[in-house]
Structure 1
Amino acid sequence: MANENDLTTVDPLSLIPPFPNSDPSTYPKITPGGSLILAWQIRNKRVLLVGGGNVAATRLVHLLSADALVTLICPPPGLHPETAHRLKTHRDAITYIPRLFSPSDLDDPSISLVLTAIDDPAASTEVYTLCKKAKIPVNVADVPPECDFYFGSVHRDGPLQIMVSTNGNGPKLAAMIRRKVADGLPSCTGSAIEKVGELRKKLRKMVPGSAAGGKRMEWMSRVCEEWSFEELAALDEGMMEGLLGGYEEGKVAGFEEIKLGRLMEAVKIGEGEDDDKEAQ
Structure 2
Amino acid sequence: MAGPYPEVQGGGSLILAWQVRNRRVLVVGGGDVAAGRILNLLNADALLTIIAPLPLHPEIQYRLTTHASRVAHIPRKFEPSDLDDPSIAMVLTAVDDPEASTRIYTLCKEKRIPVNVADVPPECDFYFGSTHRDGPLQIMVSTNGNGPKLASLVRKQIARSLPPNIGDAIAKVGQLRKKLRRIAPTQQEGPKRMQWMSKVCETWSFQELCDMTDEDMEALLGFYGPNAVPSLQQLRYGEQPDTFGYDGSFGWSCVI
Which TM-score applies when normalising by structure 2? 0.90
User: Which of 27, 35, 39 is the matching residue for 2:13?
Assistant: 35
Match of 1:56 in 2: 34
Summarize the alignment of residues 224-239 of structure 1 with structure 2, pairs less than 5 Å apart: 224-239=201-216
Question: In structure 2, the residue corresponding to 1:76 is in which secondary structure?
Answer: coil
Summarize the alignment of residues 179-194 of structure 1 with structure 2, pairs less than 5 Å apart: 179-194=156-171
Summarize the alignment of residues 42-121 of structure 1 with structure 2, pairs less than 5 Å apart: 42-77=20-55, 79-121=56-98
For residues 156-214 of structure 1, what are the alpha-carbon distances to aligned partners after superposition, in whole Å with 9 as ceiling and x for unaligned? Answer: 11111110000001101101111111111111111111111111111111122111111
User: Which of 168, 172, 179 is the matching residue for 2:145?
Assistant: 168
Give the greater-gyration-radius structure (CA): 1
Query: Could you tell me the percent identity over the aligned residues?
Result: 62
Q: Which amino acid aligns with 1:52?
A: G
Give the ranges of 4+ consecutive aligned residues of structure 1 lying more than 6 Å apart after TM superposition: none
Summarize the alignment of residues 174-213 of structure 1 with structure 2, pairs less than 5 Å apart: 174-213=151-190
Measure, in 1, the Cα distance between the counterparts of 2:109 and 2:4.
Answer: 39
Compute the RMSD of aligned alpha carbons.
1.2
How far the C-alpha of 1:242 sits from its partner, in A, is: 1.8
Measure, in 2, the Cα distance between the counterparts of 1:28 and 1:228.
Answer: 30
Measure, in 2, the Cα distance between the counterparts of 1:145 and 1:117.
Answer: 15
How far the C-alpha of 1:36 sits from its partner, in A, is: 0.6
Gaps of 5+ in 2: 240-256
Q: Which amino acid aligns with 1:191?
A: D
Which TM-score applies when normalising by structure 1? 0.83
How far the C-alpha of 1:261 sits from its partner, in A, is: 2.9
Question: In structure 1, the residue corresponding to 2:238 is in which secondary structure?
Answer: helix
For residues 130-150 of structure 1, what are the alpha-carbon distances to aligned partners after superposition, in whole Å with 9 as ceiling and x for unaligned? Answer: 111111111000001111100
Measure, in 2, the Cα distance between the counterparts of 1:146 and 1:246.
Answer: 52
User: Which of 218, 238, 245 is the matching residue for 2:222?
Assistant: 245
Question: In structure 2, the residue corresponding to 1:25 is in which secondary structure?
Answer: coil
Measure, in 2, the Cα distance between the counterparts of 1:247 and 1:122.
Answer: 60
Measure, in 1, the Cα distance between the counterparts of 2:202 and 2:89.
Answer: 38
Question: In structure 2, the residue corresponding to 1:155 is in which secondary structure?
Answer: strand
2:112 aligned with 1:135? yes
The count of aligned residue pairs is 238
Q: Which amino acid aligns with 1:59?
A: R
Match of 2:236 in 1: 259
Measure, in 2, the Cα distance between the counterparts of 1:259 and 1:52.
Answer: 55
Measure, in 1, the Cα distance between the counterparts of 2:228 and 2:30.
Answer: 55
